[in-house]
Structure 1
Amino acid sequence: MNDANQTVPLASTVTPARRPRWRRFLRENTLHAVMLPLAALWLSPLIWILVTSLKTNVEVFDLTAGFLPASPKFSNYPSTLSVAPFGTYLINSVIVTSSILAGQLITITLAAYAFARLNFPGKNLLFTLFLLQVMFPIYAIFLTNFITLREIGLVNTIPAMIVPFVASGYGTFMLRQSFRQVPQELSDAARLDGCGHLSILWHVYLPLVKPTLIAFSIISIVTHWNDYMWPLLVTNSEEIRTLPIGLGLLAKADSGADWPRLMAGTTIVVSPLLLLFLIFQRRFIDSFMHTGVK
């Protein structure tokens, strides 16, 4: 038989030598070995808060008491709720945070679309003014905002905690950059079909920038849910105050901080955010990893 007719095995079909098992094990588990300590470090404050909320005042300052309470004192939670109307504070926090988010999503969407796709006189100047809002610290405009609200009679009301934040320069910039990544051909095709600006915005742009909207929503919710200074400045009655102010009532300087109840109140305040994250954690992570349009 002629050697030319013999079949030569392809190089791609040759099975490579298997790597040692310990190498494969290290390669597959190195990431977990790095992330587990970081996760434990991130969880340690939350665990400390939860454990402290179940202790007595004596156990908190007794170095020989150990880390865990001898007998969990779950009564700290009902007693914490009795110190201040936390139910009212919770409702107010939900109203304020959701109202601010709804107003911001409307304003930043319209403003970002105008800056990204429309041409009008003074466009660059107005956008620069929007960016200046990001550069100034929020505390620098507290006085002017307070005077304005006092002149129009909104001090000590729920709208006083909402109105100054319904526009966001950071959100406008963030969404404008995402709008600019949307191909112009999509909006041109929609315009040929008879769509106006609002229809193009609703049917073309917003579906493509959902990750950016979700990422901004997360930032807005966390920021205004935890806001303490502004609600304290513009309110003076318990009926309209929010959860962070309730925590301040548990740490009065004249009577000393009741640490177990203070930690119980902290657990109550952060629990909605933690629950929200646990429910939507995959969506949260995807929104930050894929912010913008590919």
Structure 2
Amino acid sequence: MTRFAPDIDRWLNTLGAWALAVLWVLPLAYAVWTAVHPAAYEARFDLFAPLTADNFAKAWNAAPFSRYFLNTFILVTGILACQLVLCTLAAFAFARFRFPGRSALFALVLLQLLVMPDILIVENYRTMRQLGLVDTITAIALPYVASGFAIFLLRQTFMTIPRELDEAARVEGSSYLGLLWRIYIPLAKPTYLAFGLVSVSHHWNNFLWPLIVTNSVNTRPVTVGLSVFSAVDSGIEWATINAATLMTSGPLLIAFLLFQRQFVQSFMRAGIK
């Protein structure tokens, strides 16, 4: 009985994983089915139903999705660039320098991870209004240009790098910035990739804050644009709405499938489960 217990546990874990996978795949499969077939087939399954791309063309032409995608691209790349610069410097300082109050400051960084961003929406909106930034892409990005999670993740990675490399580089006359650029950043590439996927996916899908701080098409990201499209065009078939949904979520899904191995390995190296 004891010999078969591990096998039973493994089978139960496998069945549980398959059950969760099916629950996740079914809505996606329905969205794909309705998006690539005429509207007449959205409520019934027909193996020989004709395929069509008209739903994607109709969705693209029904709303300014080109502008929404441009706004989203500018938003996520701008936030990620600021986060990588600021968080790399902060993580390097926490990992390698000793200075008064280092533990207290790092505790404040970790405390940020416990604060829900939605709690700060009112104060953030007041700040953006006082700065005159309401209804701008800058207003969406500004509260997120630094990330406690990125600082923590990069600090954990930097602390695994042997200090002997620091000493060797310093003997060769390298500055701290040169040490960071030539040694630490190249060795932390998997971590940067993992955080990049997390950051891009989060801000690509972020909805509430962009909805509150934007008012026009020129500044709306794709998630807000999709919700406005679905609400205003309520008479459009579900096939068209699902096609629009796939257009907005497809890039993230493809990116994760391409980089899933590096994504998982980087978190394993950082000691995060």
TM range (shorter): 0.7 to 0.9
Structure 1 equivalent of residue 253 of structure 2: 274
Distance in 1 between residues matched to 2:245 and 2:99, nearest whole Å: 49
Structure 2 equivalent of residue 262 of structure 1: 241
Give the unaligned 5+ runs of structure 2: 1-10
More moved, 37-46 vs 91-100: 37-46
Structure 2 equivalent of residue 180 of structure 1: 159
Structure 1 equivalent of residue 77 of structure 2: 98
Structure 2 equivalent of residue 140 of structure 1: 119
Structure 2 equivalent of residue 51 of structure 1: 33
Residue type of the alignment partner of 1:235: T
Counting aligned pairs with the same residue, the percent is: 41
SS at match of 1:155: coil
Residues 57-113 of structure 1, C-alpha deviations (whole Å, 9 max, x = no match): 5543x4xx3365844453221211122100000111111011111111111100001
- Residue 193 of structure 2 is aligned to residue 210 of structure 1: no
Residue type of the alignment partner of 1:113: F
Structure 1 residue 116 displacement after superposition: 1.1
Q: How does 1:1-294 map to 2 (within 5 A)?
A: 37=18, 41=22, 42-55=24-37, 59-60=41-42, 62=43, 65-66=44-45, 70-252=49-231, 255=234, 258-291=237-270
Residues 68 and 221, structure 2, Cα contact 8 Å, conserved in 1? yes
Structure 1 residue 144 displacement after superposition: 1.2
Distance in 2 between residues matched to 1:272 and 1:77, nearest whole Å: 15
Residues 222-260 of structure 1, C-alpha deviations (whole Å, 9 max, x = no match): 111111111111110001111111220233289467422
CA RMSD of aligned residues (A): 2.7
Give the unaligned 5+ runs of structure 1: 1-29
Distance in 2 between residues matched to 1:164 and 1:68, nearest whole Å: 48
Structure 1 residue 213 displacement after superposition: 1.3
Residues 156 and 270, structure 2, Cα contact 8 Å, conserved in 1? no
Q: State the aligned residue count.
A: 259
C-alpha change, 1:36 and 1:68, in structure 2 (3 Å) is farther
Distance in 2 between residues matched to 1:44 and 1:155, nearest whole Å: 39
C-alpha change, 1:254 and 1:189, in structure 2 (3 Å) is closer
Distance in 2 between residues matched to 1:54 and 1:214, nearest whole Å: 32
Structure 1 residue 275 displacement after superposition: 2.8
Structure 1 equivalent of residue 4 of structure 2: none
Looking at secondary structure, tell me which structure has more helix per residue.
2
Residues 131 and 173, structure 1, Cα contact 8 Å, conserved in 2? yes
Residues 51 and 68, structure 1, Cα contact 8 Å, conserved in 2? no
Residues 274-293 of structure 1, C-alpha deviations (whole Å, 9 max, x = no match): 3323444444444344447x
Distance in 1 between residues matched to 2:248 and 2:77, nearest whole Å: 16
Distance in 1 between residues matched to 2:111 and 2:262, nearest whole Å: 31
Residues 87 and 151, structure 2, Cα contact 8 Å, conserved in 1? yes
Structure 1 residue 214 displacement after superposition: 1.3
- Structure 2-normalised TM-score? 0.84
Distance in 1 between residues matched to 2:21 and 2:121, nearest whole Å: 38
- Tell which structure's C-alpha radius of gyration is larger: 1
Q: Write out the 4+ residue segments of structure 1 that deviate beyond 6 Å after TM superposition.
A: 33-36
C-alpha change, 1:122 and 1:256, in structure 2 (3 Å) is farther
Distance in 2 between residues matched to 1:46 and 1:255, nearest whole Å: 21
Residue type of the alignment partner of 2:216: S
Structure 1 residue 218 displacement after superposition: 1.1
Distance in 1 between residues matched to 2:137 and 2:209, nearest whole Å: 12
Distance in 1 between residues matched to 2:216 and 2:37, nearest whole Å: 31
Residues 38 and 50, structure 2, Cα contact 8 Å, conserved in 1? no
Residue type of the alignment partner of 2:58: S
- Structure 1-normalised TM-score? 0.79
More moved, 48-57 vs 147-156: 48-57
